Amino acid sequence: MLFKIISYRKFRALQEEQRKLKDQCTELEAEISKYQQQEDHLNQELHKKDELLEEQLINLKKMGQDFQGLEEEYRLVQEESEANRSERIELTIKDLGMSHDQIKKLWSDRTELIDMYIDKLYSLAKHFAKTSKGLQKNRGLFLVLADYRNMEGSNFSEFHYGQEEHLEQDIYEGIDQLPHLFSTKISEVLAYMGEKTIIKDKSGKITGHEERDGSLLINLQGVAFRSCMMVEGVRTFRVYNRVDQLQKGSSRHNAAIYASSLAEVMASIVVSEENSEVTLFIDGQFIKRYDPHLDIEITQEQELETEITEEKLELIENEMTFQDDEVEAVEAVEEVINEEDIDIVEKVNDEDNETSIELEEDELEHDENNTSRLADKVAVAQPQA
């Protein structure tokens, strides 16, 4: 075995290097231990998550089985209900002593009657609006055609007894004076509902106006026997569940479009107290409107076409505006460039002018020098002569 003798200084350097290596080894072992602990912690978390996912999977499978069972139960109940309903319909038809064809005919007659009532109500509302235009004032109406037998109290507000008392006056008694849609008295009823009541004090001085709400309920017999305001549904989230969103209108239009979506309501009509515009709603949808001032009628299809046309025009205008902005930007750049060109040309011209002036001055100075030299020569030559 061979030994190498090294100096003390080198020995101390090797010892120092050995110490540093031991320290590095200790640090690396500490980091390895730290990473192992983190790995164990992550493995535990993954294990917990796997257990949780497995538990959720079991619950989902159970819920799926329960859903299939409920779905099958619902299907059986639905089939049983359909069978019972068909059976009840058949028994009712037999009790009435009628056939299916007769029932269909009655339903068709009912539909035609409702359509006739809607057309008549819309015509009366248009006449009311035209009359308001002739009187040079706006009056409001809220007409509701409803099957009063199936009305739900939660959908309707309280009746206005003052208007009800008006309809129960002697002037509306008897078949000829009944406030029916096809009676001459119906115009008086509409006028009364749409007018404003003058409020006077004891001395007879007018102190204000009490506006009637203009609401009138018409049943399927065509009789305007009571009035009420349909506002209850407007205060709930149900307003926009089964109705179209209004593009224009007031709270009364909101109430009308909601009312028209109810099962017991066949149609609702609003005459605006702001501009006397007549609007018809059926089944929660806008059908048509009439403007008495312009004497034009706009249907649902025309309204949609107008909206589409307006959107197209807006897009075209935006494109034109964008193009105009681009043209203006180009013109502005060209104008800046032209101004810079003019400045450059002016600078060049100024420099040329300065150069030509300097050249002219040099030429004049040169001529003057030549002249002075000639004069000196002449002066020298004269004495010699």
Q: What pLDDT sits at residue 118?
A: 94
Q: What pLDDT sits at residue 347?
A: 54
Q: What pLDDT sits at residue 121?
A: 93
Q: What pLDDT sits at residue 336?
A: 57
Could you say which residues of the chain have pLDDT below 50? 231-239, 345, 348, 359, 374, 377-385
Please check whether residue 306 lies inside any domain of the structure.
no
Distances (CA, A) of 327 to 147, 317, 320, 332: 64, 15, 10, 8
Please check whether residue 114 lies inside any domain of the structure.
yes
Please check whether residue 7 lies inside any domain of the structure.
no
Q: How many helices (H) and strands (E) does the chain have?
A: 6, 8
Range of the domain at 279: 109-297
Q: What pLDDT sits at residue 114?
A: 93
Q: What pLDDT sits at residue 217?
A: 81
Please check whether residue 197 lies inside any domain of the structure.
yes
Please check whether residue 140 lies inside any domain of the structure.
yes
Please check whether residue 233 lies inside any domain of the structure.
yes
Q: Specify the CATH number for the domain of residue 116.
A: 3.40.1700.10
Q: How many domains does the chain have?
A: 1
Contact 132, 292 (CB under 8 A): yes
Instruction: Quick: pLDDT tens for 147-194.
Output: 877 776 666 655 555 556 666 777 776 666 667 888 877 888 888 777
Distances (CA, A) of 5 to 8, 10, 14, 150: 9, 10, 13, 119
